[in-house]
Amino acid sequence: MTEHVLDPEKWVDSYADYLFNYTIGRVNDVEVAKDLVQETFLAGLKSAKNYKGDAAERTWLIAILKRKVIDHYRRSNSKKGRAEVRMDYSAHTDAEGDWLEERVADPFSSFENDAIENEELGQAIHSCIAKLPKKQALVFTMKTIQGMDTKTICNELDINPSNLWVMIHRARTGLMDCLNQNWFKP
């Protein structure tokens, strides 16, 4: 196994464009992307003493950047300034240790990377749901995410069960198309 060494003096020249392109695809705001890359470099400098050399420098910086992107969404997108960065999407507790940053010490653990990828996938799914026709998105959310039963949904929306299942089918098809274009692409 190759041991890697940090060279912070070359970070901007070597990685700024790559990190920016990675970030802009996730936050879709040039200024925010620039800020997150700068925060990543600063965090990298502050935590350089913890770098073990097990991963390439760029991989290590990307791991830091992923956490910065998550922090950005947590601050800006949800009630009380927290995005759903909970482990296993547990929305049932606010207990100590439920948040990703409180649970993970090693930025290269497969557990954290899985959680980050799950968070990114969750964001992609929510983004794709937002692109669905309003009623399809509502029906899909009520049935699949909130777990409401068919009868309750039909009564609330004044639709019949056949109509409900057609909308869910169309929503799933639309979501899959959106995810294939925005998440699963190579």
Tally of CB atoms within 10 A around 7? 9
What's the pLDDT tens digit per position in 77-106? Answer: 544 333 333 333 334 444 434 333 333 334
CA 144 – CA 1 distance, rounded (Å): 44
Q: What is the pTM of this model?
A: 0.44
CATH topology for the 132-186 domain: Arc Repressor Mutant, subunit A (1.10.10)
| Cβ contact 66:100 at 8 Å | no
Better-predicted residue by pLDDT, 126 or 100: 126
What confidence tier does 1 reach under pLDDT thresholds 50, 70, 90? low
Contacts of 48 (CB under 8 A, 6+ apart): 6, 8
Placement of tokens 């207990």 in the chain: 95
Distance CA 42, CA 109 (A): 22
12 contacts 3 by C-beta, under 8 angstroms? no
Q: Domain ranges in the chain?
A: 132-186
Confidence of residue 182 (pLDDT cuts 50, 70, 90): confident
pLDDT, tens digit, for every residue of 145-167? 777 888 988 998 999 988 888 89
Predicted confidence band of residue 144 (pLDDT cuts 50, 70, 90): confident
CA distance 38 to 51: 18
Tens digit of pLDDT for each residue in 16-69?
A: 998 988 888 888 888 998 999 999 999 989 888 888 877 888 888 988 998 888
According to the model, what pLDDT value does residue 115 have? Answer: 54
